[in-house]
Amino acid sequence: MATYKQLVAEKEALEAKLAEMRASETAGVIEQIQGLMAEYELTIDDIATKRRRGRPAAGARKAAAKPKTELPPKYQDPKTGATWSGRGRAPAWLGKNRAKFLIAE
């Protein structure tokens, strides 16, 4: 039965052999790809995948988004001076009768 040290040595030898084989095969594959690209006059842009369906990429969504602008306030609490633009959740101080807090334009 093999000892731990022997197995570790075998593992290291196999890993070295794997790295060597991968390097030699990778060089051949790259040459093949370059040859096919030259034969068919392809560029890297032709090969790279392009998003066509679904939601746009995260960068495209951010670029297309409009910058948020602040709205002028429509309602004001006379006691505290707090204001509300009329969008989003209504503040508690507004109550049910919004007309009395409406800012005159």
Residue ranges per domain, the chain?
4-64, 66-105
HSE of 104, CA atoms in CB hemisphere, 13 A:
2
- Cα 100 from Cα 105, distance rounded (Å): 14
Q: What is the pLDDT of residues 60-94, one digit of tens each?
A: 666 556 777 888 999 999 899 999 998 889 999 98
What token pair was written down for 18? 């794997």
> pLDDT per residue over 29-55, tens digit each?
999 999 999 999 988 888 887 766 777
Give the pLDDT confidence score for residue 32 in this predicted structure. Answer: 93
Q: Alpha helices of 42-89 — where are they, by DSSP H?
A: 44-47, 58-64
CA distance 44 to 49: 10
